[in-house]
Amino acid sequence: MKILEKYNKCTFCNSKKLVRSNEKNPLNNFYVRAIKSDLNISNQLINKIKVYKCLRCKIKLNNPWFNKNISNKIFSTIYGQHNRSWENLLNFMNNRILPNHGLLYDLLNKNIKIKNYAEYNSPFMGLFLNFYFNETRQNSKYYKTLHNNLINYLSSRQLAGSSIKQKILSEKKSRNFAIKINQLKKKLKHKKNIIKTLFIDNSSLGWGLNDNHKSVGSKTYAHELFDLQILNLIYHKKYSFDLFGIFHSLDHTFEPSKLLNFALKNSKFVVIYCHNQKNGVTKQHQFSITEDFLRYLNKKKIYNINLTSIIDKSFNTSEIYFICSKSKRNIINLKKKIYG
């Protein structure tokens, strides 16, 4: 079976103007080790993946790279769980530690009136947890108890192959877990919450089908915890949001331009957080954006502010935060609020 496929057009802008880069891909990481092991592929084959740069939009991409069937296997079977996303959730629910986005949440919440907020695909990578904490403000014991009951409740009816006696016992346990969850939720202060929406799709480049922890799916857990609506991503539908978040997922779809345009069309602002790989592109990624990509967006009248250096975050890897809008006035006014 052919594992690698040529990608001779830019994944973002569809340009054929791709040039080979002298950058070498990073050394093997835990993703690449698992891919090589599970697919039984050699270093010789994996080293055929080279770095190219798009002369039009300036992203960097791996070419050749895994075909879409293999890509789907990587993100649904080999590493079906989005480790970093679940770690964010577990750190908060067990230790009351929010995901590290520096001052991003405070900056956005202070300068944008947010009543209606949406994200794409990875529910624990963005700001849902920040909004949830701001709305609930409970102690660590509360979140830990709620988490344990949610996990037990959401996995309690997975009873295929169980005896009738086990099923009867489980029904009672499920009811008890549900009662406890409702009791915990009633303790929350009746603060007006923002409307939260999560858009999902079945991209073969993103986590989805098997993004589980203890047999509980990330979207199911997020639905129960955040009281959000989950919608299938249909590009022609129209919505209205104050802010749309794309957190480590713009580079986990084969349709990044369509995704960005959907968010821009339906929201006043779009905040994006993704890899900005300085040297090569890690082999589990098909592409990575660059800082030059932001200049390309400006030329396309997608006005933006690079937030990376102003949110006071220490980075373990090379990453970038920026906010953008189709409205030049929105960006000018936001800049004035941020910089004074």
85-122 pLDDT, tens digit per residue, is 999 999 999 999 999 999 999 999 999 999 999 999 99
Shared-domain flag, residues 233 and 249? yes
Domain boundary residue, one of 53, 76, 99: 76
Beta-carbon count within 10 A of 2 CB: 8
- Could you read off the pLDDT of 143-190 as tens digits, one per residue? 999 999 999 999 998 889 989 888 888 889 999 999 999 999 998 866
Shared-domain flag, residues 51 and 160? no
Shared-domain flag, residues 284 and 170? yes
Is 21 in contact with 52 (CB distance < 8 Å)? yes
Domain boundary residue, one of 56, 76, 96: 76
- Residue range of the domain that includes 8: 4-76
- Could you read off the pLDDT of 52-91 as tens digits, one per residue? 999 999 999 999 999 999 999 999 999 999 999 999 999 9
Shared-domain flag, residues 154 and 283? yes
Residue 70, pLDDT score? 95
Residue 240, pLDDT score? 98
Shared-domain flag, residues 31 and 58? yes
Is 64 in contact with 10 (CB distance < 8 Å)? no
Shared-domain flag, residues 59 and 101? no
**From CA 310, how far away is CA 312, in angstroms rounded?**
6
Shared-domain flag, residues 69 and 182? no
Residue 166, pLDDT score? 87
Copy the structure tokens of residue 269.
């602002």
Shared-domain flag, residues 45 and 114? no
Rg over CA atoms, the chain: 21
Shared-domain flag, residues 151 and 30? no
Output the domain CATH number for residue 124: 3.40.50
Shared-domain flag, residues 219 and 234? yes
Amino acid residing at 324: C
Q: How many domains does the chain have?
A: 2
Shared-domain flag, residues 72 and 94? no
Domain boundary residue, one of 42, 76, 110: 76
Specify the higher pLDDT residue, 170 or 27.
170
Shared-domain flag, residues 72 and 87? no
Query: What is the model's pTM?
Result: 0.95
DSSP H helices in the chain:
30-39, 43-46, 68-73, 83-95, 104-111, 128-136, 140-155, 164-186, 218-226, 256-266, 291-299, 328-339
Cross-strand partners of 75: none
Is 131 in contact with 117 (CB distance < 8 Å)? yes
